[in-house]
Amino acid sequence: MNLLRELLENLRQFVATIGATTLFLGRVLGQVPQALLRPGLIIDQIHNAGALSLVIIMTCGLFVGAVLGLQGYDLLQRFGSEDALGTAAALALVKELGPVVTALLFAGRAGTALASEIGLMRATDQLTAMEMMAVDPIRRVVAPRFLGGVIAMPLLTVIFIAVGIFGVQVVGVQMFGVDSASFWSQMRASVGVDDVTEGIVKGCVFGFACSLVAVYEGYTAIPTAEGVGRATTRTVVTSAVLTLILDYMLTALML
Amino acid sequence: MAPTQPEIPGTPATDNLVEIRDVHYSVGNRPIFSGLTLSIPRGRITAVMGPSGTGKTTLLRLMTGQIRPDRGQILFDGLDVATLSRKELYELRLRMGMLFQNGALLTDTDVFENVAFPLREHTDLPDNLIRNIVLTKLQAVGLRGAAELMPSELSGGMARRVALARAMATDPEILIYDEPFTGLDPISMGMIVRLVRQMNYALGITSIVVSHDVEELSILADTSYIIAGGKVAAAGTFVELKDHNSEIVNQFMHGLADGPVAFHYPAPDYYEQLLTDKE
Amino acid sequence: MRSSRAVEVSTGLFVLLGFAALFFLVTQITDRELTIAGGSYEVQAQFENVGSLKPGAAVSMSGVTVGRVDSITYDQQIYKAVVKLRINSAYNRIPTDSDAAIMTSGLLGGQYIGITAGGAEEFLKNGDRIELVQDAFVLENLINQLFASFAGKPAGQQPAAEESKQ
């Protein structure tokens, strides 16, 4: 009986959180027009979320591409279709691995930074102080960070994919000796603009979701050191799960 | 050490800027205030004291409209704070300056920008005018030379002074200090005391100081309230409070270890617990 | 608020890098003709069975892509699939008696249209129809042919049957 009550309680909390997040999103979006009047703030946040994540994104992109090259070559070799390495790897990167892995890395690096920054401001009364000075902290602190994340994510995704393909090429052509011409030509023949579009759309949607989760968790964090820590953890977990669920939905939709 | 009360010409001494009438407020099942009534006279420094946990900070949040009372009224200059819309509340807050317990400076900008913050957000003043105002406020708190420093580079006392400069930036009618003396060394404390008094009388504004620092407040306060048990336990000048006949007031004012606020946390009988442990 | 010069520069570089990557992706790894530049003309072909041919599939002659499949629709009057092909204007010497077949590319590949040139003196123009077509390979038909040949049907089927038996 207790277990059931606990489950119901968890369910109720879950539904309440969804509602709270949606309302929060409404508030944030409502402040976006005003926040756009301070481009300096937004540029700072794009730098925070995007430029500072470049190193990790590019490194991981390179290695993911390289692994794809290794595995892909090994697999295709059994069918005698090594030439299709370019196609297979490019499609995997563009449509799935690029957006999803970028989103997960983004959640880990930029998402936690966002959540902990805002959470810390909450814990040290900075947000309350702003409200006392009649400045809406959503407009001044949250909206620019949200926009920064939303703008940075698709860009990071594209960079990840590009570097990844380079990684595939290094392994496939340089290491295994797949013919460079057929590598690229097969890729060109099979990958269409709609595939790239699919990847970018996913990047945008994931960026939206992960940024929202990060700023929400930071803003609603319990104002203690422990609370901020937990908010940061929840950001990563929720972002990851949400990304994968959205990935399924988007893939099914766009197929 | 009786507080000096200079007569401010033209200010009626009985006019109250803030009035709290029969306020009740609970968090969940726990009542914080049950019938709290007090008045903050205009142009004076009023102290609000009480043992830890009596809700002094909650009172400030009620006064500034951050939370709403379950019952009762909170009037600021005649306006019922609880009935204001968000926009009106923001306008009201422009007339108030608040100093938080740990300063609450924005950690990502330097001292100058912190003080300039309310000016930049709410006014269209040109940069050079803002610069003059900021430097003037910083000069008043003695930190004009620290304008380029970041909040992380300031000591506790300096951070609080910068926060005071920031609270003063828009020339508010009332300054609210939330535990301004906590955690300061005697020198910094002396600076803050001097500033609180100077700001109040030089600028003709009203001040509320929430604290439990009996020593410091005895120098500063014109009127004092002691809150205990969700109500006002005592009110008056410091001299009156020191000789008050209420037990809790007495315990508080003289710093007695035991009294209405008990030394021992409720526990079962001592001997019984010791004996039953010796199995 | 003011952001420092360094932050602005690095953000600018980041955004530029993003767009460069996007440009790279779109131009280097996708089929070059996003739209057929330099003009194109349309011809159609009617098939009994288009198999798994899809719009956007390649149209090639001698293995070289000369156009794209624009659309595939079913015509209820003639009970056939109508496939519209968009051919690059540069290839305007396709004889009117050419043959359009639905082929499969590689082991795992998708289907495309291969045009084999005929010998006529006139060439296809916009709106023309390719008369000679070969439908997509349908497994069931081959199996039926096989069984029919085992059952001793007319000779026309037999060579195919003998080859498949081996």
Lowest-confidence pick of B105-114, B202-211, B212-221:
B212-221
pLDDT for res B278: 58
Burial of C155 (0-12, 13-18, 19+ CB in 10 A): exposed
- Pair B8, B182: CB distance under 8 Å: no
Q: Which residues, including other chains, have CB under 8 Å from residue B65's CB and lie 6 or more apart?
A: B81, B82, B84, B89, B92, B93
β strands within chain B, DSSP E = 16-27, 30-41, 45-49, 71-76, 79-80, 96-99, 174-178, 206-210, 223-228, 231-236
Q: Which residues, including other chains, have CB under 8 Å from residue C70's CB and lie 6 or more apart?
A: C42, C55, C84, C85, C86
The percent of residues above 70 in pLDDT, for chain B, comes to 94
φ, ψ at B37 (rounded to 5°): -135, 120
The closest CB to that of C32, out of A54, A155, A188, belongs to: A188
Q: What mean pLDDT is predicted for residues B208-224?
A: 85
CB contact under 8 A, A184 and C28: yes
pLDDT for res C34: 45
User: Which one, of B121, B216, B103, lies nearest residue B164 by Cα?
Assistant: B103
- Structure confidence at residue B13 as a pLDDT band (50, 70, 90): very low
Rg for chain A, CA atoms, rounded = 21
C contact residues 1-60, partner B, Cβ 8 Å cutoff: 1
Q: Is B270 a residue whose pLDDT tops 80?
A: yes
The percent of residues above 70 in pLDDT, for chain C, comes to 80
The closest CB to that of A196, out of C3, C11, C26, belongs to: C26
Which tens digit of pLDDT belongs to each residue from C147-163? 888 876 555 544 444 44
Q: What mean pLDDT is predicted for residues A86-95?
A: 90
* Secondary structure (DSSP) of A223-252: SSHHHHHHHHHHHHHHHHHHHHHHHHHHHH
DSSP C39: -
Lowest-confidence pick of A70-84, B140-154, C30-44:
C30-44
pLDDT for res B5: 47
Lowest-confidence pick of A28-42, B118-132, B258-272, C71-85:
B258-272
Q: Is B11 a residue whose pLDDT tops 50?
A: no
- Structure confidence at residue A100 as a pLDDT band (50, 70, 90): very high
Q: What mean pLDDT is predicted for residues A31-60?
A: 90
Which tens digit of pLDDT belongs to each residue from C3-16? 577 888 888 889 88
CA distance A133 to chain B (A): 6
Q: What mean pLDDT is predicted for residues A180-194?
A: 80
* Token pair for B161: 């002074």
CA distance A108 to chain B (A): 22
pLDDT for res A176: 86
Q: How far apart are CA C73 and CA A238, in angstroms?
A: 45
Lowest-confidence pick of A27-36, A210-219, C50-59, C61-70:
C50-59
Which tens digit of pLDDT belongs to each residue from C65-103? 888 888 889 989 989 999 998 888 888 888 888 999 988
The percent of residues above 70 in pLDDT, for chain A, comes to 100
CA distance C25 to chain A (A): 6
Instruction: Write down the residue that tokens 């019922």 correspond to.
Output: B80
Q: What mean pLDDT is predicted for residues A90-112?
A: 94
DSSP A175: I
* Token pair for B139: 């000069």
Chain B: list its partners (3+ Cβ pairs within 8 Å): A, C
- Structure confidence at residue B162 as a pLDDT band (50, 70, 90): very high
pLDDT for res A66: 94
**Predicted-complex ipTM score:** 0.75
Which tens digit of pLDDT belongs to each residue from C32-43? 554 445 678 889
User: Which one, of C116, C113, C107, lies nearest residue C85 by Cα?
Assistant: C113
Most confident of A16-20, A129-133, B216-220, C109-113: A16-20
User: Which residue type, as a one-letter code, is found at position B260?
Assistant: P
* Span between the terminal Cα atoms of chain C, in Å: 80
Q: What mean pLDDT is predicted for residues A205-227?
A: 94
The percent of residues above 90 in pLDDT, for chain A, comes to 62
- Pair A200, A94: CB distance under 8 Å: no
Q: Which position has the higher pLDDT, B203 or A81?
A: B203
Neighbours of C101 (CB within 10 A): 17
Q: What mean pLDDT is predicted for residues B137-142?
A: 90
CB contact under 8 A, C17 and A156: no
Q: Which residues, including other chains, have CB under 8 Å from residue A219's CB and lie 6 or more apart?
A: A24, A118, A119, A122, A127, A137, A138, A142
φ, ψ at B260 (rounded to 5°): -55, -35
* Secondary structure (DSSP) of A102-120: HHHHHIIIIIHHHHHHHHH
Q: Does B113 touch chain C (CB under 8 A)?
A: yes
User: Which one, of B218, B207, B250, B275, lies nearest residue B40 by Cα?
Assistant: B207
Q: What is the mean pLDDT of chain B?
A: 83
CB contact under 8 A, B118 and A131: no
pLDDT for res B8: 46
Neighbours of B83 (CB within 10 A): 12
Which tens digit of pLDDT belongs to each residue from A106-157? 999 999 999 999 999 998 888 888 887 878 899 989 999 999 999 999 999 9
Q: What mean pLDDT is predicted for residues B216-224?
A: 85
pLDDT for res B38: 87
Q: Which residues, including other chains, have CB under 8 Å from residue A22's CB and lie 6 or more apart?
A: none
